[in-house]
Amino acid sequence: MNGIEFFKRLLGGHASDAVQHGRLLQAAAGTRVLVVDDSPTIRAVLGKMLGQDAYAVQKAVDGESAIALAKAEQPELIFLDIVLPGINGFAVLRSLRHDPLTRHIPIVMISGNQQATEQFYVQRFGADDFIKKPFGQREVQRAIHQLVRAGRLAARAPLVSPAAMLDPTVPYVEVGATASSIAA
């Protein structure tokens, strides 16, 4: 096994390999995610879905607080409802995309409003993805998978089972190992 194959295997293979084997790539554990929705139910359910996948979730109920939180906390991903009280999700998206502090943050738009959904496709202001309500955990995971594949989010290191650690054909790296110590 050459060095590149070793690192591919160490990092869980190529992204397309993960999809072919039915696994969706996840962002790094602890990834900071901002959920913006005026519905307490959506905030709670999406927050729980993300929390179960070990993401650190913050929530905002409207566009103004979303912009303030995004600037102050610098989340690594935002799930943004289109229909919000006050300024709508499109205005929030435009504001975040025009601000040097927040323009790099991946944003997934969400909406159950058919008109807003149609408008999203007509006026795409730089969102990274769109999920139509109602949605399930698989749709949320798929959106994150696409962002990881595109390099917009850092990938989570694959889990290694205790049995795999005993298998000499499976590469094993101790926690705290550096790239130079792995290559040696």
Q: What is the pLDDT of residue 166?
A: 59
Q: CA 44, 48, 50, 54 torsion: positive or negative?
A: positive
Contact at 8 Å (CB) between 128 and 108?
Answer: yes
Which of 122-131's residues contact partners 24+ apart within 8 Å by CB, and which partners?
Answer: 123/90, 125/90, 125/93, 125/94, 125/97, 126/93, 126/97, 127/80, 127/93, 128/152, 131/79
Task: Delineate the domains of the chain, giving CATH numbers in brackets.
Answer: 32-149 (3.40.50.2300)
On average, the pLDDT of the chain sits at: 79
* Mean pLDDT for the stretch of residues 159-167: 55
**How would you classify residue 74: left for phi > 0, otherwise alpha for psi between -120 and 50, otherwise beta?**
left
pLDDT-based confidence at residue 41 (cuts at 50, 70, 90):
very high
**Neighbouring C-beta atoms of residue 128, cutoff 10 Å:** 17
Q: What share of the chain is helix, strand, coil (3-state, %, to 5)?
A: 45, 15, 40
Measured CA to CA, the distance from residue 95 to residue 101 in angstroms comes to 11
pLDDT on residue 112:
87
Q: What angle do CA 79, 83, 84 make, to 5 degrees?
A: 85
More confident residue, 4 or 158: 158
* Whole-number pLDDT of residue 11: 39
pLDDT for the residue numbered 16:
40
112-148 pLDDT, tens per residue? Answer: 887 766 666 546 668 898 898 999 999 999 999 999 9
pLDDT per position as a tens digit, 6-38: 333 333 344 344 443 457 899 999 999 999 999
- For residue 14, the model assigns a pLDDT of 40
Tell which wins on pLDDT, 120 or 102: 102
pTM: 0.74
Cα 33 to Cα 55: distance, rounded to the nearest angstrom: 7
